[in-house]
Amino acid sequence: MAIQEILVPDIGSFKDVEIIEVLVNVGDTINVEDSLITIESDKSSMEIPSPAAGVVKEVKVKVGDRISEGSLVVMMDVTDGAAAAPAPVAAAPAAPAPAPAPAAKPEPRPQPVKSPTAAVQSEAAKLDFSKAYATPSVRKFARELGADLNKVTGSGRKGRITQEDVKAYIKDVMSMGGVPGRGAASGNTLGVAPMPDIDFSQWGEIETVALSRINKLTGEFLHRNWVHIPHVTQFDQADITDLEAFRKQLNEENAKSGMKITPLVFIMKAVVAGLKAYPRFNSSLDAKGENLIRKHYYHVGVAVDTPDGLVVPVIRDVDKKSIMQLSEELKAISGKARDKKLKPADMQGGCFSISSLGGIGGTKFTPIVNAPEVAILGVSKSDIQPIWNGKEFAPRLMLPLSLSYDHRVVDGAEGARFTTYLAKMLGDIRRLLV
Ligand code: CAO
């Protein structure tokens, strides 16, 4: 044991910066890399970690003091001899972030297995929070709950992440049926090298734009589903020439009411017919992957494009609603989504999702299954094609369908049967009545 001065290490271009937090008290037992103080410049904040383990004997700084490299922070009764050289520091940039300096990435400490949440905590312990703008107590809180701080949007001063922000993030993740921290951690569990941290400004002018909360959450779920679900996408097309003529007629008849019917509502009805004919598509795998939970209700999620990102509100009991009711509900719920008024419950309980890009364009795409559902239908823009009718080529309006499904639940043959069935229903919508 020896009393040792703990000094501010090399902190790059930071000089004469203000201390905004003192994170230790006399008598505290400190481990190597525990943060001692937080300093803040105009652009970012930074935590100064302890290069040594021991007991704090004297705190030599207070909030508001200004420090530079070499300033004395604490006197410590050192128990771990690794103290001699001050450790490099990990910067926590505020938005907009400056080009990050190469940051030391402390090895995560092993987490004792104590509770059912230990696995999630241990995954969170592996995450690198060095760029998250949060105090040590908030970092600790996030690790305890297994939350990935990199995905939390800060509401504090200069975008600092508060404990409340972590709680709100956990609430959002849970309400969408997820596990905090798992999304990002899943990349690590594959043993894949992390994405490199690149300074793009070396090649030209750049700007940094923060992802919205929806972007972050959606990204986490898409990543999780992409990694966990063995996807197959089946392509097909439906002849909607007659359906389109009927839809146009309905729209003309309803012109005064202002109600517009799009192809999507007919597709929803055809999907429900498909779910009834092929019930494996209306199921979910249980958590152990040993049983299928078959649903006897027909709630369909519809992907809605909003300025803040993709959301998938659910329209309930599609089997029990008319084309007009579905049109009204689709209009209302997509409006609610774009006005950011959806509640978590509006996005839960779906059996199957539809992602329609038909109003935009494209010929086909491969949507990602919206787990715990087992399939999703992508719809692209219809166009007129020459179709052989046995005697000649006739111009027909063809609708491209892209069905992605979880291959653990649905076989390829069943996938092809489902799209063939959809095409048959959409080709002659009278069949939806049978
Ligand atoms: N082929 C050709 N035209 C189509 C079409 C199709 N498959 N689907 C819709 N259209 C037409 C509509 O009839 C409408 O035409 P008019 O204005 O002439 O009447 C126009 O395209 C716009 O339709 P819309 O997009 O407003 O309405 P919708 O009912 O088809 O879709 C909604 C509603 C909320 C699903 C849609 O607005 C949306 O947000 N789509 C994007 C979904 C998305 O981002 N998916 C990707 C997720 S990642 O997998």
| pLDDT band at 97; cut points 50, 70, 90 | very low
| pLDDT band at 115; cut points 50, 70, 90 | very low
Residue type, position 404, single letter:
S
Assess whether the C-beta atom of 399 lies below 6 angstroms from ligand 1.
yes
In terms of Cα–Cα distance, which of 295, 303, 302, 301 is closest to 279?
295
In angstroms, how far is the first alpha carbon of the chain from the final one? 86
Assess whether the C-beta atom of 382 lies below 6 angstroms from ligand 1.
yes
Give me the mean pLDDT over the 354-361 stretch. Answer: 97
> Which burial class, exposed, middle or buried, applies to 217 when counting CB atoms under 10 A from its CB (0-12, 13-18, 19+)?
buried
Give me the mean pLDDT over the 76-98 stretch. Answer: 50
φ/ψ of residue 352, rounded to 5: -160, 145
Give me the mean pLDDT over the 165-173 stretch. Answer: 80
pLDDT of residue 352: 98
Strand partners, 3: 77
Write the pLDDT tens digit of every residue in 233-243. 999 999 999 99
96 upstream amide cis, omega within 30 of 0: yes
| 269 neighbors 326 (Cβ within 8 angstroms) | yes
Selection from 38-47, 151-160, 182-191, 355-364 with the highest mean pLDDT: 355-364
Least confident window among 71-80, 236-245, 275-284: 71-80
pLDDT of residue 136: 67
Give me the mean pLDDT over the 114-136 stretch. Answer: 60
φ/ψ of residue 168, rounded to 5: -65, -40
Residue nearest (by alpha carbon) to ligand 1 atom 5: 358
| pLDDT band at 35; cut points 50, 70, 90 | confident
Q: What is the whole-number distance in angstroms between the Cα of residue 260 and the centre of ligand 1?
A: 12
Residue 271: count other Cβ atoms within 10 Å of its Cβ: 27
- Please tell me the distance from the alpha carbon of residue 7 to that of residue 414, in angstroms, as a whole number: 67
**What does the angle CA 422 – CA 275 – CA 365 come to, to the nearest 5 degrees?**
50
Ligand 1 pocket test: which of 239, 315, 328, 356 has the largest number of ligand atoms within 8 Å of its C-beta? 356
Which ligand 1 atom is the nearest neighbour of the CA of 365?
49
pLDDT of residue 397: 98
> Does residue 102 surpass a pLDDT of 80?
no
Residue nearest (by alpha carbon) to ligand 1 atom 25: 359
DSSP code string of 52-112: SEEEEEEE---TT-EE-TT-EEEEEEEEESTTSSPPP-EEEEPSSPPPPPPPP-PPPPPPP
* Residue 298 CA: distances (Å) to CA of 186, 276, 315, 349, 404: 31, 9, 9, 10, 18
> Does residue 104 surpass a pLDDT of 50?
no
> Does residue 416 surpass a pLDDT of 80?
yes
pLDDT of residue 142: 85
User: HSE (CB half, 13 Å, CA atoms) of 211?
Assistant: 13
Please indicate whether residue 407 is annotated as part of the active site. yes
* Portion of the chain with pLDDT greater than 90, in percent: 57
pLDDT of residue 122: 58
Residue nearest (by alpha carbon) to ligand 1 atom 1: 381
Q: Which position has the higher pLDDT, 294 or 288? A: 294
Residue 238: count other Cβ atoms within 10 Å of its Cβ: 25
Assess whether the C-beta atom of 302 lies below 6 angstroms from ligand 1.
yes
> Does residue 130 surpass a pLDDT of 80?
no
In terms of Cα–Cα distance, which of 194, 124, 208, 130 is closest to 166?
124
Write the pLDDT tens digit of every residue in 47-57. 788 888 899 99
Assess whether the C-beta atom of 313 lies below 6 angstroms from ligand 1.
no
Q: What is the whole-number distance in angstroms between the Cα of residue 357 and the centre of ligand 1?
A: 6
Which ligand 1 atom is the nearest neighbour of the CA of 303?
42
pLDDT of residue 21: 84
- Please tell me the distance from the alpha carbon of residue 347 to that of residue 364, in angstroms, as a whole number: 25
pLDDT of residue 178: 56
- Please tell me the distance from the alpha carbon of residue 7 to that of residue 296, in angstroms, as a whole number: 66
Is this structure's pTM higher than 0.75?
no
Which residue among 223, 228, 231, 407 is the active-site one? 407
| pLDDT band at 185; cut points 50, 70, 90 | very low
Give me the mean pLDDT over the 36-61 stretch. Answer: 83
pLDDT of residue 103: 34
Write the pLDDT tens digit of every residue in 207-231. 999 999 899 999 999 999 999 999 9
Q: Which position has the higher pLDDT, 380 or 28? A: 380
Assess whether the C-beta atom of 262 lies below 6 angstroms from ligand 1.
yes
> Does residue 11 surpass a pLDDT of 90?
no
- Please tell me the distance from the alpha carbon of residue 338 to that of residue 304, in angstroms, as a whole number: 8
> With left for phi above 0 and alpha for psi between -120 and 50, is residue 19 left, alpha or beta?
beta
Residue nearest (by alpha carbon) to ligand 1 atom 6: 358
| pLDDT band at 163; cut points 50, 70, 90 | confident
pLDDT of residue 226: 96
Domains and CATH numbers, the chain: 2-130 (2.40.50.100), 224-433 (3.30.559.10)
pLDDT of residue 218: 92
Residue 425: count other Cβ atoms within 10 Å of its Cβ: 24
Give me the mean pLDDT over the 403-425 stretch. Answer: 98
Selection from 66-80, 114-128, 151-165, 384-398 with the highest mean pLDDT: 384-398
Give me the mean pLDDT over the 46-71 stretch. Answer: 89
Q: What is the whole-number distance in angstroms between the Cα of residue 353 and the centre of ligand 1?
A: 14
Residue 192: count other Cβ atoms within 10 Å of its Cβ: 10
> What element of type H or E holds 17?
strand 17-22
Average of per-residue pLDDT values in the chain? 84
Q: What is the whole-number distance in angstroms between the Cα of residue 273 and the centre of ligand 1?
A: 21
Tokens read off for 24: 């230790």
